[in-house]
Homo-oligomer: A and B are copies of this chain.
């Protein structure tokens, strides 16, 4: 079991300013009630493209991309502050998708051609690339997908179906996990959305996010669109980064749901007193507060470890996501209970947090998955 490295857990002045800007923009332009509109069938994107462009102009999509590809070359800690702010209002703009799910495997993959083709566009916000890794019945055996590539001509042919692909309807390209028939190993390849044989269908998820079923039928994959043919390490690295990003969103969301609940406890009067004066509720609120602080430390530590290239990073990524899953769900459930009947109505925003908590907990590794990883990394 490794020792803990020294991690810088406090945002610096620039990071604070970045997060503060994000928070203000999101509060102003992306309040959570927007979801009631965005979830409707007539909004195929499920988010605001113009707001996303604004975010790109502020540099958020470029944060993690190296300067060589027109990015800012900053770190995960920088992005985490922004994602936390988006999370507070459950803003569905595909920042996590593009900046991590799509860009990271391209950045770390084996194709320089793909880096040049996509990273500048992702950085500018013009291109959206997502990761297609979920399959029906796969659960969390992510490294054993049914989708597969077989050699064909100078390249490969991809077949398979992915589900609940984030932002599938707006993606320009998909990074796809699949089995390489030749090596019988996990592979990761890139497929453009408008390729022949790609079809996309919108799915309606409980958290109002637009996800999609993406079917690949004899889709050509060129040699230089292969990110890796021995992709377990690349996939794990991608999952770890993205899980930390998602954990930051979840931290922000949980913290906002908690703040709203505390405000409600102070304002709602029953039996002639504010319900926040009831000790049973006070103690439960205090418990949630403790959990939130522990989550915050975990998320920041994982991001710092990524930026400091610490060996502890995979462990800390597992920690962050496992605790984000547990804490966000716990907060969201208690938030509804403490809101009482009104919390159950669709008119009240608090319900969105529970729905998002459930969906987020099942993306990029559930609690049990990350606990198993943690145990493995700690040698038991």
Complex Cα distance, B268 from A127, in Å, reads: 68
Complex Cα distance, B278 from A282, in Å, reads: 11
Complex Cα distance, B278 from A280, in Å, reads: 8
Residues of B within 8 A of A282 (CB): 280
- Assembly stoichiometry (copies): 2
Complex Cα distance, B282 from A283, in Å, reads: 12
Flag whether A50 is at the interface (Cβ < 8 A). no
Flag whether A279 is at the interface (Cβ < 8 A). yes
Residues of B within 8 A of A279 (CB): 278-280
Q: Return the CB mask of A193-222 against B: 1 if under 8 Å, else 0.
A: 000000000000000000000000000000
Interface residue count for A (Cβ, 8 Å)?
A: 5
Q: How far is the CB of A53 from chain B (nearest CB, A)?
A: 50
Q: How far is the CB of A185 from chain B (nearest CB, A)?
A: 33
Complex Cα distance, B271 from A279, in Å, reads: 14
Residues of B within 8 A of A280 (CB): 279-280, 282-283
Query: Chain A interface mostly helix, strand, loop or mixed?
Result: helix
Interface residues of A in 252-284 (CB under 8 A from B): 278-280, 282-283
Complex Cα distance, B280 from A279, in Å, reads: 5
Q: How far is the CB of A103 from chain B (nearest CB, A)?
A: 43
Complex Cα distance, B279 from A279, in Å, reads: 5
Q: How far is the CB of A251 from chain B (nearest CB, A)?
A: 27
Q: How far is the CB of A41 from chain B (nearest CB, A)?
A: 39
Complex Cα distance, B282 from A279, in Å, reads: 10
Complex Cα distance, B278 from A278, in Å, reads: 9
Find the B residue at minimum CB distance from A281.
B279
Residues of B within 8 A of A278 (CB): 279
Find the B residue at minimum CB distance from A282.
B280
Residues of B within 8 A of A283 (CB): 280
Q: How far is the CB of A265 from chain B (nearest CB, A)?
A: 14
Q: How far is the CB of A26 from chain B (nearest CB, A)?
A: 36
Complex Cα distance, B283 from A282, in Å, reads: 12
Q: How far is the CB of A278 from chain B (nearest CB, A)?
A: 6
Q: How far is the CB of A272 from chain B (nearest CB, A)?
A: 15
Find the B residue at minimum CB distance from A283.
B280
Q: How far is the CB of A287 from chain B (nearest CB, A)?
A: 11
Complex Cα distance, B281 from A282, in Å, reads: 12
Q: How far is the CB of A276 from chain B (nearest CB, A)?
A: 12
Complex Cα distance, B278 from A212, in Å, reads: 51
Q: How far is the CB of A364 from chain B (nearest CB, A)?
A: 28
Q: How far is the CB of A70 from chain B (nearest CB, A)?
A: 55
Can you offer 6 A-B residue contacts whose CB atoms are under 8 A?
A: A278-B279, A279-B279, A279-B280, A280-B280, A280-B282, A280-B283
CB-CB nearest 6 A-B residue pairs: A279-B279, A280-B283, A279-B280, A280-B280, A278-B279, A280-B282
